[in-house]
Structure 1
Amino acid sequence: MRTVTGHSASASPGQGLDIGWWAKGLALSERLVGTGRLVQPRTDHPAHRQVARWRAGYGPAGADRFAERLAGTGLTEDLLAALLAEPAERLAARTARPEWADTVDSAVRAAQPPAAGLPVPADWREAFAIPLRPLVDAAQDQLARQGEGLAHVDVPAVLDTFAAGLRKRLVSLAVRTFVAELNAQRAAGQLVGADGKERFAFFVRRLAEPTNLVALFTAYPVLARLLGQAAGQDVAAHAELLTRFAADRAAIVTTLFDGVDPGRMVSIEAARGDRHGSGRSVAIVVFESGRRVVYRPRDVGTHVWLAEMVDWLNRRVPDLGLRTVTTLARPGYGWLEFVQAAPVQDLAAADRFYRRQGALLALLHILHAGDMHHENLVAAGDTPVLVDVETLFHPDFELTEAPPDAASAMLGHSVQRTALLPMMIVGSHGTADVSGLGGDRGASPYGVLDWEFAGTDRMRITRRPGEFGGGHNRPRLGGRDLDPGEHEAAFLDGFRVGYDAILRHPAEFTGLIQAAADLDVRLIARPTSGYAVLLDETTHPDLLRDAADRDRALDVLWTDSAACPLRWRLSPHELADMWTGNVPLFTTRPDSRDVRTSTGESLPGLLTASGLGQALAKLAAMSEVDLHHQEWIISATLATRLPADGHRGVERVAEPMTGAAANPERLLAASCAIADLIVAKGLTDGGRVNWLGLEYVDNRQWLVLPMGAGLANGYLGVALFLAHLADLSGIHRYGELARRAVDAVPQVLEMAAGRPDLLRLIGSGALNGFGGIAYALARLATLLDDTEIRKWALVAAEHAAIADPHGPADWANGSAGCLAALTAVAAELGESRVAGLARSCADRLVDMDLPDDAGFAFGAAGTAWALAGAAEPDAARAAVERATPFEPAGHGWCSGLAGLAVARAAVDPEPDHIVRAARLLADRPVLRDLSLCHGELGIAEALTVLSAQMPSASVIAAAARRRAGLVLDAIDRYGPTCGTPGAVSSPGLLNGLAGIGYGLLRLGFSDRVPSVLLVRPGYPAENHKPRET
């Protein structure tokens, strides 16, 4: 790497940069002027290779997509190659000099060499601000001239805070380049000093010399552009704020301070939100009295209108007492009350807070609001106050071209879309709830950029776990943020009364929301945090020598949008905003399908439906059934905040169980009752049916999701239970529903075909991968006598065999489960081809490293069982011995004694060991959790399996029958309690209702219902005579 001091730039104080130095700082879209004079490069020119690499980013079949992307910004491949090959001097000759170039050139001309021996601050941020001082000083002088004569403003104080903020912004843009140059000069031996700190100081002083600033900006014209733009934008935004303040001050005092003069303005705390539209951002104006007011540089009509809606709701719900921010609206901008967070005095006040927040959720839900996360809410004592409401009537758009199923659509239109309910972000460093109910302080899910050896010549970039600072959105008592889950009853009560108030006055509410038709509301096309990360990452010095390189890096806006038509259409406008250094901004009107860009350009008909239309549809769909669905989503999302306790069922039922008579008829009746609950929860668009469920994703975090295809947590597990129940009971509607539940399977199989990345993501395991999918489909093909499903099962088996050959060895996700599942599919369907795939899987498994875990689902016990079934006794024995020394995680099947006992019995069927294990499983209190995974029915399944293995040991069969009675007693008293956080009812097989129902069928009909936990094939069909209904 050449260092900037090595460039041949002749400059001295008062001398500017060379003519045309700025040309390569122009984005490609800005080079599309006078292109008739461009010369097409020769076929062997490197520009053509650059175009080919760019095109390759769209995939092997992405040429048409790339051409479409180029056309959207006025380019073709030939024109792009010509632009990439064009020398800077020719580009400068045919394009106009941009304003940012004048800003930088003027600052460089005014730069003075640093004083001899200039002390360099120890803080690297302050040190790196020294070379940027000419830009800051010029901007400060410009703002000072515009602020002359302003009354009620302490101009010097405001200028000081302005300069501090600009220094911080400019350093953040330049730091990567400065550090790259620092390291290059250190490696070249160009730094002088006794130690790293002295050499760092030497670098800073030398970089601040005018000749080296010239060299810096000549080498990095894109950096010069970013710095010059930022300085100019900050001046313009502050000057606009000061002008508006001077015009509005009297009204601010009257409206927001009840006529009490707050004194002079002493500070503008800018960038209190994302920068949009030429660097404008929300700012807090501070007065000498300490009072504050919030300035919003965009229309605040939504705040005014929402205040009217809240007043209406307060009149309809006695003692509700919601409030909104006091607002002074002006055309295109406004001033808002600064809401100060305050604690609650007692738990009763906390209940009032959450009751109000529940009612607020009901209102926001029907108004089709979104993005109500923790930064947009303040807990002012016992009242939640929204401080940002620009995303009311937020229109829906699909993130994929495939139509959503009914469960996805339901969740997308539910209370969850507001972002007020828990919204768990899972990253490599942890989990955080960023919702309006969340904002917990703690570890950030993502790593953050930091600097090692900062302030020395060895300074370098690093990543470290970040801290999530939380917000002011939660009520505090005794110095502690109160958890919303502890006040769920109050929250739900508030939601019900708010929902009911709207439901009882539909015509009145319709008129009120129709009055909002011409408001300006925001459309959030992507998470704004993603834009911020992209803006930061594209300050890498490799992207700052030629803007075309940064354009290519920003092309991720298109490549990440291939499946989302709306985002694809917006990408050119996002790119334009990001080249101004701003987060893209799009707006619309509630009654419109048009989208407006940050420049005011209208993009007609881009939305499939207006936000107001969707709100009115939601209002029309309100009912008691819908209320029940929304309440389940509230409870389920609140449950996702509970600590994930892994796979250990420990909580016991509150009172002793005496045990009910567990004859097959009672077990079948209980299963039918559970099936009816599942049926009631089903969501359909008239064809396919699906469910919402709680899923334990990657064994890390519970999430509310539409069911996928998996056996453990997906619709195939539910369908398998319903199909078995139809077979046993003769109730045909269960079988019909099971068939409708699996209609999406062909899409899943087709999507994964030829996609090694997707196959690997889904995996091959028996619970969470294609092994379980193939098994469930094979069993369904038999139970439903469906040849089409049989074909799907064979395709799924092929996928399982190749999904992840180098992945884990365990049962749930890996090769052990794949082996067992393919063996069962081969037996179920009589397919020798699948038997061969299973044998190959067994051969692979023998040579794999054993899991560290002891349990059946994720550890060595499951691997041992699979190997024993594949006639690999030595490998099976090694696996079970690996599992035995570990302490079982409770009694459950997945990680505890039940699964370990089954695996050990398969490898070493010692009668005494089997009986001893059965007694340990049977002689204990009943668990509250009845699930198959780590609850009662998983333990009962182990007893059933052990009893079948030792039919002579009547004690085991008796224990299984007794446990069946205890489970029925528990269901009679408490209902079918799922193995989910908070025991929230969920349809799934492993932790939910389908698994409880299936477990009951196993207890009553083990001769006709094979073990799903062991993915066993079905039994011969003779003697299978359906019962009559």
Structure 2
Amino acid sequence: MQITQEDLIKIVEQASTIPERLGREFLSNQISVDDNAINARIERWCQTIADGNEAQFEKRLAWDGLDLDKIRHVLGSVRLVDRQNLPTWAETLRTLLESITPDSADAFEKDFLDKKYPLDSQQSLPFEELFLSFIDVARQRLTTQSGENYFLLSSESHATLERSLLKSLTSLCSQALGENFLVFRLYQKSSLIRLIGQLEGSHSTKHYRNFIRNMLAGELLDFFLEYPVLARLVATVTNFWVNNLCEFLQRLAADWLKIQTTFQSNAELGQVVAIQPGLSDSHCNGRSVIKITFASGLKLIYKPKALGLEEAYFRLVAWLNENGIPLQLKVLKLINCSNYGWVEYVEHSPCTDQLAVKRYYQRAGMLLCLLYALSGTDFHQENIIACGEQPVPIDLEMLMSAIARQEESGEATSALFMAFEQFTYSVLSTYLLPSWQLGQDGVAYDMSGFGGSGNQQTSYHRLVWQNINTDGMVLRREAVKTPSYSNIVTLNGVQISLSDYVEELVEGFEQMYQFLIDHKQTLMAENGLLVVLAHQQVRAIFRATQVYSSLLKETLQPKFLRNGVDRSIGLDVLSKSLLKHETKPNCWSIIAAEQKALSHLDIPIFSIHPYSQDLQIGTNQSIKNYFVDSSYDHVMARFEQLNQTDLAQQIGFIRSSLYTNFASDVAGSLASSRQPTLGDDAIAPVAREMLIEQAIAIAWELQERAICATDGSVTWIGMEYLPEAGRLQQKPMGYDFYDGVSGVALFLSALAQVTKNAENRHLVLGALQPLFKLLQLESVDKQRILKNIGIGGGKGLGSILYTLVRCSQFLGEPTLLDHAQSIASFITPELIGSDRKFDVVSGTAGTILGLLALHQATADVAILEQAVICGDHLLNHRITSDAGLQVWKTLNGKTLTGFSHGAAGIAYALLRLYKVTKNTDFLAAATDAIAYEQRVFCAIAQNWPDFRSEKPFFSASWCHGAPGIGLARLGGLAILDTDDIRQDIEIALQTTQISGMHEIDHLCCGNFGRMETLLVAAIQLKRPELAEIAQKQAAWAVTRAINTGSFQIFPNRFQGAYNPGFFQGTAGIGYELLRLAYPEQMPSVLLWQ
């Protein structure tokens, strides 16, 4: 297939990137200027990086020394200056296309049948026949350039390598080829023929083979002329494949004797009989990790990077083993060859018995401590191998991670900033411990080194070809699940759960921590082991690899491949995150480095020298003073601060992290955790003084654990509830009622009213201070942050309104109402209209409850009008349920029952709104919602089904099930009182009492939430016996807390974890203790009273 010089030049010109066009190799083509195309590109670029904000877009250009006039010249047609000496990739493209001869189309039929190339009939690759001659070219180049070294690998190994290239080429081109094939099919078939084809099925290959024949007969050149960026990438990938394998073979030959001496001195290595390329991300012109297997059986890992850091680490581990750590850690053999090396292969293997499993997790705790002390990070599940009873880290490039310097901000003196620093640089930063990755659709999955497992649903999707290489081939989008990595611990073929070995992990961490304290001076001495680390360059991560990977996939869509400018614009989305700064940030130059790597399909990689504070972003290119201190100084400071206080704090993080991994919606998981209790006559109601004393103890612990800043602000590290995922995530507290500082402030303000303790008042105002500072921000920033908070009554602006109103009343602070009204002004009709959660905790129903509380306190008519807009929003978004009644799809698009996310809570909010407005539409909607719950009621269970899971179950808590539904009916009883509703209440009270006491105490899913239902019923229905039951249950819980040292907010095996939040933490328990002590004085906050 001949390609003219002019066609090749045309491809080079159109494939050129914006940075290349701004250089000296290209000139603007003034003869052919398409203003419409240029304007469209400017508009698309502005939209991509600045959401259409022209000022932001021009700021981005200015930071690169550009303006609209300068940039227009390179967005249209350009001409290559030197039209004789074309880039290397262009000459490779010429060779690839010319390898397709006039006989190729005929030869294709034979090749199609006998598959003599690296093809797999069981795993065909899309349009693979088009690239067979390209494989011939690459093979010939590799054979020629590697010489005798070529034969170090078996023919089977070479076939594997060639198939890896074939996979790369088909992956690059398949989307664009698919579009062309779709058009080809449409032209080939009449409507009748298409119908017949559908009846024949999707396995015919007639049209596919004709398409391949036409492409090989000359249309492939037209294809690359249409997609010049793709042509460039195909040639570039081919060049990288040849060059990197030549380099690999040369290094293998040079190190052959050293490999045999180091890894297998007692036998000849033999030929490499198996090879597995591409075991890591692609860096530095397509280089990646390779696994090889010799004929002797020896397996090695080839890493195309310096291994000095790994060598230093394993020297340190060997020293630890020799000096008496409790259990020996595995030391890997390796050869460090300056800028590449060879490492012992680690087999994934099971534990031999139960004791080995326990030792594995004890070692895991030791490894966790060591990597924490060395400031290691990014140890995800693919970077840990469970080798028998040894957890082995296999990628150590992220040891000694340094702290990036923050852009100048007043936030550095705030408690929230301190909390994020404390959290970010804790043991959690290793990523060995469970941590939820969250997608926009609410999916949560764990990729941690110790907790991550395969087959978890992620928020990502991928394109998958179906009916490959047939007339019916089609591209489908499918959800991605996490792959199974070698970090999984097994025994007798069964996967072991980390949550069953909490104590072993903590014990190992504590043992290693104490060992490091005891040997700190030796390790930190001038000739100590840590000094070896000082000479090793380490990797620095600017943004998550997944961001780069997703962007690479995104920019391989056909619309980005027709012109290099379009792909450059697509890649420039990376600059968007930095445009929030008013002035050019210090790290701005990293954008160009990222785009340069991505332009040829590499994942960007940056580094830091241990003695430097500069970030290396390229050859002789760095960002000065990017880090607060050097990576070596950071590690030395970490070792210096090893002490008993830090040990206790890190163990707390560990326990909390392990609990969040276990807690897949606590209400459901604790359904069978009922506790044995004393009979009614065996325990007396708790005295008021005891209740207050326990509430004070909770407040004291809050004060002890508070993170206090010099600016007077206060916060805590807690656990955020993720409703859509049904998970908890450990993190610094946010602003809201459910699990944020507002909930803690509400409890402490109530306690301040009871005890008159000024310290509690001080903590309340300190906890709320970040919220007040937020209100002082510029309007745009303030609006963005408040919008992201949401509008719900538990999690959102509605929740903040409610807590500010109550804190104002408890403290006698009218200024808090002013702040509440300021926040209410951001609950706009547009924000309300965007809500699709609808429920009390996260949606519009909760907003109503917060607004009504503020309206009751201020009598502001405008606030009531906002509540009415919320009510109308709920009316307009009902759907007809399977039960035939109008309700709402709430959590994960399901029509739920219950208070927190279901019909009961929404009906209660609408009844409250009806009471104030007398709008009967709200009453009718509430009545329908209640009727829906009555229709799905299960008489056998005497409870309302919980529809969150595919198979409905029955909960007995405030959030889901009888206690919460009964509470909602009681809350609205003065507004809507019918026989059916009173029957619901009686059933709920009976089920709540039968449920008894459970392992967990907190409000949302635990004992104190059920006590509140009984307490409200006792007051509302004038049934003192219910109050006595609640008081006895409180006495039981208090007695257990005194005996065990704390109330239980976690299952027994996770004691030591801590959550200060209101609904699932200690603050809510503290408030309920006060309410039990003063039921007439303290309102029912679970009813937003």
Match of 1:663 in 2: 687
1:391-423, Cα deviation, whole Å (9 max, x unpaired): 111123379976452221111010111111112
CA positional deviation for 1:178: 1.1
Distance of aligned partners of 1:431 and 1:763 in 2 relative to their CA distance in 1, 3 Å threshold:
closer
Which residue, 99, 104, 107 being the options, matches 2:88? 99
CA positional deviation for 1:847: 5.0
Match of 2:867 in 1: 838
Separation in structure 2 between the aligned mates of residue 149 and residue 294 of structure 1, nearest angstrom: 22
Count residues with an aligned counterpart: 1003
* 1:640/1:702 contact within 8 Å kept: yes
Which residue, 47, 61, 64 being the options, matches 1:56? 47
Match of 1:581 in 2: 601
Match of 1:908 in 2: 977
Q: Does 1:946 align with 2:1017?
A: yes
CA positional deviation for 1:49: 3.6
CA positional deviation for 1:920: 4.2
SS of residue in 2 equivalent to 1:331: coil
Q: Does 1:475 align with 2:489?
A: yes
Match of 2:810 in 1: 783
CA positional deviation for 1:652: 1.8
Q: Does 1:774 align with 2:801?
A: yes
Match runs of 1:404-553 below 5 Å: 405-427=417-439, 428=441, 430-445=443-458, 446-511=460-525, 512-553=529-570
Match of 2:791 in 1: 764
Distance of aligned partners of 1:15 and 1:622 in 2 relative to their CA distance in 1, 3 Å threshold:
closer
* 1:174/1:223 contact within 8 Å kept: yes
SS of residue in 1 equivalent to 2:448: coil
Q: Does 1:556 align with 2:573?
A: yes
Match runs of 1:974-989 below 5 Å: 974=1044, 975-978=1046-1049, 982=1054, 984-989=1057-1062
* 2:674/2:995 contact within 8 Å kept: no
Match of 2:881 in 1: none
Q: Which runs of 5+ in 2 are unaligned?
A: 114-120, 879-886, 889-894, 916-921, 938-942, 945-953
Q: Does 1:293 align with 2:300?
A: yes
SS of residue in 1 equivalent to 2:743: helix
Match of 2:833 in 1: 805
Match runs of 1:631-710 below 5 Å: 631-642=651-662, 644-645=664-665, 647-648=667-668, 649-650=670-671, 651-654=673-676, 656=678, 658-686=682-710, 687-700=712-725, 701-710=727-736
Match of 1:1014 in 2: 1087
Match of 1:120 in 2: 112
Separation in structure 2 between the aligned mates of residue 505 and residue 735 of structure 1, nearest angstrom: 45
Match runs of 1:225-240 below 5 Å: 225-240=232-247
1:225-249, Cα deviation, whole Å (9 max, x unpaired): 1010001011111111111111111
RMSD of aligned Cα (Å): 2.9
* Structure 2 counterpart of 1:862, one-letter code: G
TM-score normalised by the chain length of structure 2: 0.87
* 2:692/2:1077 contact within 8 Å kept: yes
Q: Does 1:331 align with 2:341?
A: no
Separation in structure 1 between the aligned mates of residue 76 and residue 667 of structure 2, nearest angstrom: 60
Which residue, 933, 943, 951 being the options, matches 1:883? 933
Separation in structure 2 between the aligned mates of residue 334 and residue 621 of structure 1, nearest angstrom: 34
% identical equivalent positions: 27
SS of residue in 2 equivalent to 1:1013: helix
Distance of aligned partners of 1:711 and 1:969 in 2 relative to their CA distance in 1, 3 Å threshold:
same
CA positional deviation for 1:950: 2.6
Match runs of 1:695-734 below 5 Å: 695-700=720-725, 701-734=727-760
CA positional deviation for 1:733: 1.3
Distance of aligned partners of 1:987 and 1:317 in 2 relative to their CA distance in 1, 3 Å threshold:
farther
Match of 2:940 in 1: none
Match runs of 1:63-212 below 5 Å: 63-71=54-62, 75-87=66-78, 90-91=79-80, 97-112=86-101, 113-115=104-106, 117-118=109-110, 120=112, 125-126=124-125, 128-150=127-149, 153-154=152-153, 156-189=155-188, 197-209=204-216, 211-212=218-219
Match of 2:947 in 1: none
Match of 2:951 in 1: none
Distance of aligned partners of 1:745 and 1:757 in 2 relative to their CA distance in 1, 3 Å threshold:
closer
Match of 2:1036 in 1: 966
* Structure 1 counterpart of 2:456, one-letter code: A
* 1:931/1:937 contact within 8 Å kept: yes
Q: Does 1:1004 align with 2:994?
A: no
* Structure 1 counterpart of 2:384, one-letter code: L
CA positional deviation for 1:744: 1.0
Distance of aligned partners of 1:81 and 1:460 in 2 relative to their CA distance in 1, 3 Å threshold:
farther
Further displaced range: 363-372 or 913-922 = 913-922
* Structure 2 counterpart of 1:698, one-letter code: P
TM-score normalised by the chain length of structure 1: 0.92
SS of residue in 1 equivalent to 2:45: helix
* Structure 2 counterpart of 1:391, one-letter code: M
SS of residue in 2 equivalent to 1:79: helix
Distance of aligned partners of 1:377 and 1:745 in 2 relative to their CA distance in 1, 3 Å threshold:
same
* 2:381/2:449 contact within 8 Å kept: yes
Q: Does 1:32 align with 2:82?
A: no
* 2:43/2:52 contact within 8 Å kept: no
Match of 2:907 in 1: 864
* Structure 2 counterpart of 1:133, one-letter code: L
* 2:376/2:398 contact within 8 Å kept: yes
Distance of aligned partners of 1:155 and 1:957 in 2 relative to their CA distance in 1, 3 Å threshold:
closer
CA positional deviation for 1:589: 1.5
Which residue, 736, 742, 751 being the options, matches 2:768? 742
Match of 1:216 in 2: 223
Further displaced range: 905-914 or 224-233 = 905-914
* 1:23/1:92 contact within 8 Å kept: no
Distance of aligned partners of 1:760 and 1:63 in 2 relative to their CA distance in 1, 3 Å threshold:
closer
Distance of aligned partners of 1:585 and 1:846 in 2 relative to their CA distance in 1, 3 Å threshold:
closer
Separation in structure 1 between the aligned mates of residue 849 and residue 540 of structure 2, nearest angstrom: 49
Distance of aligned partners of 1:72 and 1:128 in 2 relative to their CA distance in 1, 3 Å threshold:
farther
1:602-659, Cα deviation, whole Å (9 max, x unpaired): 3332223322233233233322222121111111111222251453453122554743
Match of 2:918 in 1: none
Match of 1:570 in 2: 590
Distance of aligned partners of 1:567 and 1:259 in 2 relative to their CA distance in 1, 3 Å threshold:
farther
Match runs of 1:592-631 below 5 Å: 592-599=612-619, 601-631=621-651
* 2:442/2:724 contact within 8 Å kept: no
CA positional deviation for 1:347: 1.1
SS of residue in 1 equivalent to 2:456: strand
Distance of aligned partners of 1:776 and 1:541 in 2 relative to their CA distance in 1, 3 Å threshold:
same
Distance of aligned partners of 1:304 and 1:98 in 2 relative to their CA distance in 1, 3 Å threshold:
same
CA positional deviation for 1:660: 4.9
1:505-524, Cα deviation, whole Å (9 max, x unpaired): 33223233343222111112
* Structure 1 counterpart of 2:465, one-letter code: W
* Structure 1 counterpart of 2:926, one-letter code: A
Separation in structure 2 between the aligned mates of residue 155 and residue 918 of structure 1, nearest angstrom: 75
* 1:147/1:155 contact within 8 Å kept: no
Distance of aligned partners of 1:263 and 1:124 in 2 relative to their CA distance in 1, 3 Å threshold:
closer
CA positional deviation for 1:167: 0.8
CA positional deviation for 1:317: 4.1
* 2:361/2:504 contact within 8 Å kept: yes
* Structure 1 counterpart of 2:147, one-letter code: E
Q: Which runs of 5+ in 1 are unaligned?
A: 1-10, 1017-1029
Separation in structure 2 between the aligned mates of residue 60 and residue 91 of structure 1, nearest angstrom: 33
* 1:671/1:998 contact within 8 Å kept: yes
Distance of aligned partners of 1:591 and 1:969 in 2 relative to their CA distance in 1, 3 Å threshold:
same
* Structure 1 counterpart of 2:597, one-letter code: D
SS of residue in 2 equivalent to 1:115: helix
